[in-house]
Structure formats: C-alpha cells, structure tokens
Amino acid sequence: MSIFRRIRNTFSRSKLRQEIDAEIQAHVEMRIADNVVAGMSPEEARRDALIRFGNRTVVRERMTAMDAATALDAFGRDLRYAARQLRRSPAFTTTALVTLILGIGANVVVFSVLNAMLLRPLDVPQPTGLYNVVHKQQGYDNQSYPDYVDFKNKNSTFSDMVAYRIEMAGLSTKEAAYKCWYYRVSGNYFDMLGVQPAQGRLFHASDEHGPNSAPYIILSHNFWRRYFDSDPRIIGTTVDINKHPFTVMGVAPPAFHGTEMFLWPDFWMPIVDNPDIEGTDFLSWRGAHNLWVLGKLKTGVTPQQATDNLNAIAHELARENPDDDGLDARLTKPGWMGDQFGAPARSFLAGIMLLAFLVLLAACANLASLFAARTADRSRELAIRLAIGSSRWNVLRQLLAEALLISVFGGTLGTILSTGLLKALTRWQPFPEFPIHVTVSPDAKVFLVALLLSIGSGVLWGLVPIRQVWATDSAQVMKSSGAGTIVFRRFTLRDLLLGVQITLCTLLVTSSFVALRGMQRSLHAPLGFQPQGVLIADTDLHMGGHFGASVTKIRKRMLEEVGHIPGVTSVGIIDETPLGTGGSSSLVYREGTTDFRPSNSAFGAKYFGISPGYLQASGTRLWSGRDFTWHDDAKAPKVAIVNEKFARSMFGNADAVGRRFMWGDKLSYEVVGVVENGKYDSLTEMPWAAMFLPLEQNPNSDNSLMVRSPLPPDEILPEVRQALAKIDPSLPFVFHTWSDALAFVQFPARIATATLGVMGLLAAMLAVTGVFGMAMYSVSKRMKEFGIRVAVGAQPVQLMRAALSRPVLLLLCGSAAGLLLGVIASQLLAQIVYQATPRDPLVLAGVVITMAVLGLVATWIPAQRALRIHPARLLREE
Amino acid sequence: MARNDLQGTLDLLVLKTLSQMGELHGYGIVLHIQKASDELLSVEEGSLYPALHRMEMSRWIRSEWKMTETNRKAKYYRLTAAGQKELQNAEKSFEQLVKGIRAILRYA
C-alpha cells in the first residue's frame, strides 16, 4: 500500500472501514452461495457462513488499528506527547522560547535588510543586466554628458544606456508650492527600464530635440496621490518648476521610484531641460562629471566583456579630448549612488549577518546545554522506557519532536515580531528633508530562511542528547539514584560551546563600546567649524526666480535684515553646507600651468562659495590673511581662502597669503586667507584640501544662511522666518540647526552603534543564561559531593573553587579571545564610525568590567547555593 | 534461528497460494488452501483478512477490486516481487523448522 494511501486512510478512517466491510461482505456472500449450491437452505447457508467467518467487528478493528500505527500517526503522537512534556516544565519551555524568539528574530530582521539591500534587484520591471558605469577610482562615480553620449553610441556590449541626475527644485501650482526632489533623465530612461505609465504617457528618446525642447514632467505616483488627490485631469496641465512652465505628461506606476534604492523622487524631467537657466550648461561640457550612468547589458555579454569594451572607448576618448585625460570605466551594482555607500554598507551588513548568525548559534549552544541537562535529569524516565521495550530510535525521535516543536514555535513568534519591526522600519523616514525610505518588508525568501533557521536550530540542539540516549544502560541508571554517571572532569562539547558563546559576547561588547566611544568622540571632533548655536535656513534662489544681479541684492538684504535681529551675533551665507548635502570638488593647478590636463594638476580640492561673514558665523578659524568683502565681486581680481591642507600641499611650509594658484577655468587665483582644516563630506574622511571662493565670483543659486546666536534656536527661529518672508514671500526655506543637520553624516555610525548595541545585549543575555545554567547545573548535580566535603571540613573557598572553577575559567578564556577578536574587528568598524579604536583605556576597562559583572551575575546564585549546603540535611535526604 | 510461529505459517500458505494461482480473492485463498491440503488444513477465515492487510502494508502483495465469475465485486490479491522474495525466505525457514522438529522427534 502506498504511503499516500496510508495518509489518506488516516484522514478517512470511515472510508477504510467501508472498504473492509465490503470485502468481508463479499467473502460471506460467496460462502453462502457455495453453501446453497451444496444443498443447504438459504437460512442455514447464511448461519454457517457467519459462524465460519467469526467475529467481524474484531477483524475490522484489527485491520484499522494496523493503519493507525503508521509513521504519520506516530509522529502526531510524538508531537502531542512533546507538547504535554513541555507544558509540564514551563521554566525550560519559557527559557527556550525566549532564547529562540530573540535568536531567530534577530536573524530574520538582519536577513530582511540584507535581502532588501543586497539580494533583491533594483525595483524596476526589467532589472536584469543593469549596471552603473563608474570610474575605477573609488568615490569618482559620475560621468559627464558628452562622455555618456560617446559611451552609449560607441559601445557594442550594452543594449541601451541611460543618464540621470538627482536635483531639487520648487514646484508650484496656482494653489501651493513644494520643495521637491526630482530626476533629470535621458529620454530613453523609461523605455530601457520597461516602465509603463499609470496615467497619461511617459517621454521617449524621440521627444528630445536639443536643449529645453521637452518641457514635460512625469509625476511619481506618491506625489500625484498626496498633492493632486490622484486626479487624472492633472495630465496635460501646466505647473511651474523654479518659475518655468512644464506640462504634466503622465504619472509613473506606484512601485516605480527611480533607479536609486532608497530615494523616492517626486517627479522626472528630461535631462535636456534646464530649470537652472543661469547654471552652467553641463550638457556640452566634458569636464562636468555630474551624471549617473546606468547601462543594460546585451544578453550573453559578461560584465567583464562590457568593462573591457567601455575601457577601450574611454582610452580613445582620452586621446581625443584633454578633458577626458585618464578616463576609465568600471561596472558596479546599481541603486547605491555608485559605489560610495555600497561598499562599506555591504561589508557592514555582511558582518552584522555573521554576528546575528553567531548569536543564533550561541542560543542553540545554550539550548543544547539546557536540553542535555534536562535529558540527564530525565535519564530515569528514558531508562524505564528503554527497559519496557521502546527502541532507542523512538526515544530519540521523542526528544527531537520536543526540540522541533519549541524551535518552530519560537521561530514563528520571532518572525511575527520581527515582521512588525520591519514594517515600522519601512515606514520610518530617517531624515525629514530627504525623501528616503528603507523598504525592507520581508518576502517569501525571508520566510523560507526563517523556517530553515527554526528547523535547523531545532535539529542542532535536539540532536545533542544522542550520545546520552545511546549510552543509556537502563539497568545501571535504574540501580543508581538518578544521573550519577555524568563525568565533570573532562572538557565536553558543552564547555566548548559555552566558551565560544562568551567569546562572541565579548566581541560584541567590545565592538559596541568601540562604536559608542567613536560616536562620543565624533561629537567633539574638530570639524573646522562650530555647529553649536547655528541655525540654518536653506533655499535655492532660483526657486524664487532670482537670477544675476538680483541674487547679490537679495543675499545682501538677507544678511542685513537677519543680522539686525536682536540676539543674532553673526550671519553668513555658503552655497553648500559642509557635512550637509556635500560640496563639489575639482582639480587645481600650480601657477604658470598652461596645459590643463588632469594629469598636470596639483591635487583635487573641495570648493565652496561663501559670503563675507560666513567664516565668523560658522566659527571657522582664520589663521592668517583676511575674510572676503563685498568688493571681491565679479569685476575684482579672483581671490580664494584656502585651508591649511591646501596651503601646505600647494605652497609647502611658506606663508600662503599673497601666493597664487590656478583652477580649471585657467585663471589665476590669489590666496587672501588661510583657515583651519575641516570635515566636508563625512566624519571619517581623511583631511581634504579645500578652498572658499567669494559667491560673487563663483555664482550658485544654492543658499544656506547661517545664523549664529547664543539664544536657543526655537526662540530665534520665528524672527528669522519673519525677516526672510519680508524679503521674498515666494522663496521656500527649510530651517534646521546645524547640529541636527549633522545627524545625516552621523547616521551610519548611529545605525552601527545601535545594531552592535542590540546584538551585544542579546549576546550578553545569552552568555549570562549560558554560564548561569552551567554553574547551576553542576552545583545541583554535585550537592551530595559538596555535602560530604563540608562534613569532612572543606572551607567555603575550597567549595567555591570546586563549584565554579570551570565556569570562571571558561569566562576568562572566552573574554580574552573575544577581546582579541574585537580589536581586529574594530578595523572594519573604523570605516563607519569616527576614530573607532579599541586602543582606548576606557574601552578596555569597560569591556573588562562588563564581563566581570556578567560573570558575577551569572555565578552569584549557584555560588550561594553551594555555600548554603547543609551536610546533615542533605545526607539524610539521600 | 529461523523465525517461526503460526502467523509465519499463515503468511507462507497465503504467499504460496498466490504464487501458484496468480490472482485470487480472500475467499478463493481459503478454498484453495483447504482443497490443496486435502481438507487437512482449514484457515480461520476471520484471521485471514488482517494477515492480508498486513502483508499488503509490507508490500508483499497488492490488491485490486474486480468482478468474480458470478458477477460479484471482490478484492483480488496478487504477489509482488518483494512478496516473491519473502515467499522464498518463508519456505526456507519452514523447511528448517520441519527439519528441527523431525530431528527432535527422532531423538526421542
């Protein structure tokens, strides 16, 4: 009979009965027929047939009972029995459940994030074969538009290639104005990605006919829903973007949010349109590297072939155009803003995944010890079961059923909890001023992993008592009183597991301390400015329709009006806030350079446009020379203020003030001041050379007004807002304190610290329960021995040594190993957290004290129990 | 020692019958054993069916509902390859049993 029929039989017992009855009935009827043929009367024939057959009910019961004894039924019985056993020992069950919920839950959360960030492809209809084209050098990820066009037209390995950049603009309708993030994309963008419109239509390559030829935008579904009430009549109407009219052509589908993983833009615009009329026209400038290029490989082409192909083109371009000197190409996984955030995020995530897995392993080690102890305590019951004829396999299957039941139950609860957590994480918008969403909702892959982890861990710790069951000699166990046969001298697998667990815990505790100290230090790091007490008002003057001379006029008015507010000590303007949205960088040349190839440059430098007064308002210290004045305008000679690093690199140790250098515009600049070094992009960066230029000589519509005041920001804010509104009510401003703005650069470090902290806490809890369980168990099993020792005069110290030497030894070795690993792991951490170093007496002391406290907590109760032994009572009980 | 008991003997009889007759229903097996043993052996009809059911679960035989010559629905049994093998084992151990018993009888 096939297994399927057995299973079916188990569920349809009645059907089996019917079949058996029919078979018996046929038998009896055939006998009756034969009897009648042999000459009996019908009644006689029937009676004879029934007597010959015997008791039909008994036969039927014997047959159905056979089916009930199939494996499936036995498994169900095992589970029911396991559930009963577990209900009977709530302490064990609760401990195991909580441990598993934490262990598996942590893994599900980390894996979901990993899955969303690394494994899932870009969220577009046709994600296969997509790669960002970046430069070989890390961090140089952008291409210029002419290079993009050449790459796109000359390559033979990509089916298509798109370019995009992400910008901000003011979108205004008759009723309202919004500050928006949007994509400027090449015409073939939607076609290459296979995106279909939700409303209206999307633009194509054929809509592009040179600069400003396609004044259309495509709204994101979210933006359309929130601000236009999903009204389809919006299609074909006109909205103003930075005061220029654009027609709404269509709406993108709900799931599509561009080609960067976490950014959700408000609309898309053809790249040929330029709402920054005054801004430099980058479409024809080969040196302006400000685009992301995304290509789709032809089927059958490997990334390596494509890279070689692009590099050959790059080589050719470099020969033809001085601006392309040194051009090369590399492919990278899309969605991560090139490679800048991708590489460290990836290694960090992989590291955290490893840690989460190790935490689960530690949890399993704990459960294995607990389970082994429980099995040892039940050795009598097991021995009886073996003695009355149960097979060892049956006993083992029973134990495994218990482990699996708890694991799957705990895994399910853990998954439910972490799904809730992930949903919250998906809703979370870490920075109000950026449209960033981290979509990490779990998918089928995550649930599969959760199930596998549950079953895997169940089997892992459920199989630990195998040897115990196999070695059980029922006669021996039943003769002696309980489990007296367990040997404590030898180091066992259990000890090793516990040691590994303590090592892991110390590693995590060390890492969290290192990260915490780094965070603390980064708050006091020399930034090159003083963010405390500075309120920032961000805007883009183009959004108010200010161009040319109007820009200077309005800036002067801002500084004047806001500077007169009582309580404001100084005001200044910078185009892009350091450690904010990031600045630009460019190559600089020594005085006298005539050939401006990149290879002839001196070095790359960050540059910022600032107003007079910025240095004072930002708290940037001027070492020598002077600040700018309003006389350093477009007509005056070109001047610059440089930082120390710049001055040293360009001019050596000599005083830089009065010296000259050249920039990419082939003009000579005079250094009029030297300021302190600072942090410009991230807290962990190496010192950059930087230069500050007068806004007048380096026009830019980005405008961050810095207002320094000893008053609290919320007191000064309304007055600043009022003063600015008086100057131009149509300008949208975003207000924040500089300290808050720094949250953005501290974000990775904060996430790292929080994650490590949570993992460390988990590991610490597991280590405490592990050590506690082991010490407690060993004390309880040796009560009799201790009683005798006390009776013959052992001192408390001797008793303690006997009871706790093993756990304490493990604690010491594990902590030492963990600390060592922590020191090594900190090198990875240093990429994310400012000045992460374990060579810090506070960190080392913190780790040692933490582990000592953990050890004390874990061994306190067992030690008390060992000390309170009353020999007479104990011996009497036995 | 060869496994042997009454149940083993019934198995042997049923397997042998099926191997000789090909396909047969329960009643037919009872009749055949009676006839072939010259009415010396009579199978307790009620205990035949649990035995058939057990052998079917061990996959020595398989069953199929069919019509008899007298147009009655009955469950027909037939030997499988595994049953063929089991039959050889059963025959061997039965012969050993007989040999053993005979030796003891002679000794006395």
Query: Quick one: DSSP state of residue A206?
Result: G
pTM as predicted: 0.63
CB contact under 8 A, A59 and B50: yes
- Testing the interface with B: which of A2, A7, A27 to mutate, by most B Cβ within 10 A? A27
Q: Helix B45-57 to helix B6-21 angle, to the nearest 10 degrees?
A: 80
The residue length of chain B stands at 108
pLDDT at A875: 65
Min Cα distance B74 → chain A (Å) is 6
- pLDDT band, residue A9 (cuts 50/70/90): low
Size of interface A-B (CB pairs under 8 A): 61
Nearest to A66 among B27, B47, B57 (CB): B57
- Judge contact between A684 and A830, C-beta under 8 A: yes
**Does B75 touch chain A if contact means CB atoms closer than 8 Å?**
yes
Per-residue pLDDT reduced to its tens digit, A314-338: 998 888 887 787 788 888 888 877 6
Q: What percent of chain A has pLDDT over 70?
A: 90
Rounded-to-integer distance, Cα A482 and Cα A468, Å: 14
Along the 108 residues of chain B, how does pLDDT read in single tens digits? 334 455 568 888 999 999 998 899 999 999 998 888 888 887 888 888 988 988 888 889 999 998 888 888 899 999 999 999 999 988 988 888 888 888 888 875
Segment A610-631 shows an average pLDDT of 93
Q: What is the overall mean pLDDT for chain A?
A: 82
For residue A586, give every residue at least 6 positions away whose Cβ sits within 8 Å of its Cβ, in sequence order, or none. Answer: A604, A605, A607, A663, A664
Interchain contact B99–A (C-beta under 8 A): no
Give the nearest chain A residue to B80 (CA atoms): A1
Q: What average pLDDT does the segment A380-390 reach?
A: 77
pLDDT beyond 70 at A304: yes
- For residue A832 the two structure tokens come to 């994310």
Indicate if the alpha-carbon torsion angle B89, B91, B96, B100 is positive or negative: positive
Contact: B46, A31; criterion CB under 8 Å: no
Are the beta carbons of A1 and B50 separated by less than 8 Å?
no
User: Across the interface, do A23 and B75 touch by the CB < 8 Å criterion?
Assistant: yes
Residues of chain A contacting B45 with CB distance shorter than 8 Å: 27, 31, 52-54
A52 with B45: Cβ contact below 8 A: yes
pLDDT, average across residues A672-698:
87
Q: How far apart are the first and last CA of chain B?
A: 22
ipTM given for this complex: 0.89
CA distances from A413 to A104, A111, B16 (A): 9, 16, 57
Residue A581 has a pLDDT of 60
Interchain CB distance below 8 Å, B53 and A53: no
State how beta strands A177-185 and A238-241 pair: unpaired
- B62 contacts in A (CB within 8 Å)? 1
SS3 A123: coil
**pLDDT, average across residues A264-286:** 74
A59 touches chain B (CB under 8 A): yes
Contact in structure between B85 and B48 (CB atoms under 8 Å)? no
- In this prediction, residue A854 has a pLDDT band, given cuts at 50, 70 and 90, of confident
Q: Do the chains contact at B73 and A55, CB–CB below 8 Å?
A: no
Q: What is the pLDDT of residues A76-133, one digit of tens each?
A: 777 888 888 888 877 778 878 888 888 888 888 888 888 887 777 787 888 888 898 9
For residue A1, the model assigns a pLDDT of: 45
Out of B45, B50, B54, name the one closest to residue A27 (CB): B45
- Contact criterion met (CB < 8 Å) for A26 and B25: yes
Portion 1-60 of B in contact with A at CB < 8 A = 25-27, 30, 44-47, 49-50, 53-54, 56-57, 59
Closest C-alpha among B30, B32, B33, B24 to residue B76: B24
Sign of CA dihedral A752, A755, A761, A766: negative
